[in-house]
A and B are shown apart, each in its own frame.
Chain A
Amino acid sequence: MKRNDTFIRTYPLAGVILFLVLALAPLGFSVAAGAQDAVKLVSDRTALMALADCLCLSAACTLAALLLGLPGARIMARTAFPCKGILRWLYCVMTLVPVFYIRLCCKVVPFPSIGKPWMWEGAVLALLSVPSVVFITGEFWRRLDPGMEQCASSLKTPGGRIYRTITMPRIRAAATASALYVFARCFTYMMAAKTTVDALSSSLNVICAIIGLLVLIPLFITADKAMCRKDRSKGLPQQKPCCAAGHIFVFIYVIVSLCVAAAPLVLILLKSIRTPEGFSFTAYIGLFKTVYTSGSRTFICSLILLAGSLIISLLIALRISYGASDSRFVLALALAPLAMGPYAFASGMRGLFAFIPSVPLIVPGILSHTVMTVPFMVLVLTPAVRRVPDTLRNVSRSLGYSESRSFMRMDRKLLGPHIAAACFVGAAASLGDFGASFISGLASVPVQIDSFISTGDLQHACALGFILTLICLLSISIGRAIMRKSHV
């Protein structure tokens, strides 16, 4: 995978160093702060129980998501049916859906009064994670050559055995990757939900961050190895149209899985419209006034966070993507914040900036958002950078252009749509991020939604949530549409 190109070795360095500083400095501060509480943590039975709860619940959620998601991945990979592109897009959107929705869902969904509330929270989390498994595993599975399965089938091997001995070993990396991603997501969410108000939050957040880091680095290295093998295959294999009975099964699964996974979001939407007096256009205007006159300047705050984090993220992510296209370690490093969660970074960043009182709160907020936005942009940019052949840059150089001019005239233009798409995806991630702005003490839109939930004003919470969802969906859709215009 190493590329014979000096540009790829030198260009990413500045981005990687800046990212390391931005990520490691607050993390180090969190670790230092957490270490002080570590002794208390060991003796604090409640905190240890919380940790154990989170681990068990996350493992259960992951298993459930995997069991529900793998059949969907197979359907996405091997069966041809209409509107699959739209479905894939929906799964992608739901994989990126902001985590704060889980809390809103738990408030909105009329769960039966049996069992403990955290069980239902876990159930929502698992269902919202199903699309992640379908999307990540399915995208990998559909690129595998079905020739081996066909060959095994011609040797009269039963279907189940083919799946166990031929298919499963090949998709294991992607399935593991999706499972670990879901685990990291569930674990960080639960740890944050259970500990942000707790005195031992910094210790637990550090543990959470380190576990996330340990889990995610091997995960992405494994998954990326598998994806690189995939990249060498020539084109996508033909998909089989299924029979009538197969069609019915496929549609039932897709509709059920989508409905179950999307139900909480739909409920939020319904709740935002169908209030006792009806949430009309005038009511939305009222909502804006409420939010705007609350003194917190919610929208302006979110916009400043968005603009600041996008500009810095783009500068870092573009450079890191070149490093990540050449080195799996750099890729894993860039994606590690996904597993560590925004809480660890934001609390560390805030602690660091506490030493400089003159700096406004928005600065650590922007930097925390940047760390959380970079991975999404890297995820969009790295595959595109990998698809730009070295030979293009080499030819350009042999025609007399220097490395930097070749980059400006070749790479920048070829990657233009991907850079724009990364900005849109990054915007969705930044707008929807709750943890970083919450810990930084900034009243962004997700934080405002959270405060509506806390005060019991679910109507306004749902309405604002609906608006944010629309903006995020629109952003992701535009990003995907732009990417299609790419030459690479």
Chain B
Amino acid sequence: MSDTILQCRNIKKTYPRLSLDLDFSVSQGELVSIIGPSDSGKSTVLKLIAGFVNPDSGIVAIDGQVVTHLPTEKRNTAVVFHDYALFPHMNVEQNVAYSLKQRKIAKDDMIPEIRRLLELVNLSGFEKRGIEDLAADEKLRLALARALASDPCILLLDEPLMLLDSKKRFELRNEIRQIHLKSGVTTVYVTNDKEEALSISDRIIVMKNGKIDQIGTPEDIYRRPGTEFTATFTGECNILPYDVILKTLRVPETERSKVIYQCFGPDHKLLFRPEDMVVNDMPGLPFPEFFPHLRFENAKIIRCEYLGKEYLVTAQYDEFIIKVYTVYRPASDCITAGIRMNKILEFNDGRLIRH
């Protein structure tokens, strides 16, 4: 691809408890998130790109130039760490100017440039403030401004919202997206919060044990997860064995064997999201009829969690455990839920084989 700005080809790096094996590329102007559980190697990928760590083998190329063995300062990347790493002996203006001085910007041009950058991150008027006088979100904005001041090819964000409360996280993730769109700088964003990644990314890389599990758009990752791991990591889901079909399939008797034969192998697993299920939580009410579907009649409620806008109900049907979302708290201790066949993903040996 001509517009590829970052390439990581056959990167291998071995640690005592982790082996990294990577192969991916990022296009110009993209915001790519890297998500995964703790110790899956997300931050190490960032360090490899920035040059804090050298790979055992493989190639890192930025803007067409191989930088695998170049020191950090020659790679034209900028990093924002989770603790922001602001220089404590400098004020806001000096922190931003630190990057500009390296670019040898003339003194006369420096002040307008600092103002522009601070305005970009909504920090106008904070020029003379000390670092200790800034709130956590303001520190993040400053760290972003300082990073952008170095005019990087690639902006690397290492869990930047980790220290913020949930409200600020929500606000700042949208601002990061806005800043990315305005500045147009290619961004690699590491997080372990799936919502953050799904909401702001152009593409997502899901990592597991040092390897890439799936790369795709947020919709692909959530709706068509390539593996069972990606499906469970990116959201709540029900994973049930093949047997559930025999017990819950609702389809005219004439077509039953045909559906079972055509769709599912006996060793396969079925996966579907709780929000795709249709729920009837009022006993006595008829369940809406649609075909074909799986129906879990009078499943016994084990747990009901209030999530604010809805309830997450965990229920047991036969030997199967299912999770569903309901708007109202179930009136009885049983619930009936169904899922259309076209919403069900089929996995074999942890990999998606049919959607």
Contact = CB atoms under 8 A, between A and B. Distances in A.
Do chains A and B stick together as partners? yes
B145 to A, nearest CB: 12
Interface string B121-158: 00000000000000000000000001101101000100
Nearest to B89: A487
Interface residues of B, number: 29
A397 interface: yes
Given A394-B79, A400-B76, A402-B71, 7 more contacts: A397-B71, A398-B50, A398-B79, A399-B73, A399-B98, A400-B103, A414-B89
Contacts of A409: 98
A397 B72 contact: yes
Interface in A391-411: 391-392, 394-403, 409-410
Contact of B73 (A4, A397, A410, A488): A397
Nearest to B81: A391
B230 interface: no
A446 B105 CA distance: 56
Interface in B161-195: none
B102 A401 contact: yes
Contacts of A4: 47, 52-53
Given A399-B102, A400-B150, A394 B50 contact: yes
Interface in B2-44: none
A397 B150 CA distance: 11
A410 B52 contact: no
A391 to B, nearest CB: 4
Interface in A374-419: 389, 391-392, 394-403, 409-410, 413-414
Name the prevailing secondary structure of the A interface residues: helix
A488 B103 contact: no
Given A4-B53, A394-B50, A395-B79, A410 B102 contact: no
B102 A400 contact: yes
Contact of B87 (A392, A394, A402, A403): A392
Contacts of A410: 87
Interface of B: 47, 50-53, 71-73, 75-79, 81, 83, 85, 87-89, 98-99, 102-103, 146-147, 149-150, 152, 156
A400 B73 contact: yes
A308 B212 CA distance: 59
Nearest to B155: A398
Given A4-B52, A398-B77, A488 B150 contact: no
A414 B89 CA distance: 7
18 contacts: A389-B83, A391-B81, A391-B83, A392-B85, A392-B87, A394-B50, A396-B98, A397-B51, A397-B73, A398-B50, A398-B72, A398-B75, A398-B77, A399-B147, A400-B99, A403-B71, A414-B89, A487-B88
Nearest to A487: B88
B85 A391 contact: yes
A395 B102 CA distance: 13
A403 B72 CA distance: 9
B88 A488 contact: yes
B78 A398 contact: yes
Contacts of B73: 397-402
A395, A396, A401, A409: most-surrounded residue (chain B CB, <10 A):
A395
Contacts of B98: 396, 399, 409
B78 A394 contact: no
Interface string A210-233: 000000000000000000000000
Interface string A1-31: 0001000000000000000000000000000
Nearest to A393: B85
Interface in A474-488: 487-488
Contacts of A398: 50-51, 72-73, 75, 77-79, 147, 150, 152, 156
Nearest to A388: B88
Nearest to B143: A395
A394 B72 contact: yes
Nearest to B74: A400
A409 B73 CA distance: 14
Interface string A232-249: 000000000000000000
Contact of A394 (B85, B89, B150): B85
Contacts of B146: 395, 399
B52 to A, nearest CB: 6
User: What are the 10 A-B residue pairs with the smallest beta carbon separation, nearest first?
Assistant: A391-B85, A487-B88, A397-B72, A400-B102, A395-B85, A398-B79, A391-B81, A399-B150, A487-B89, A399-B99
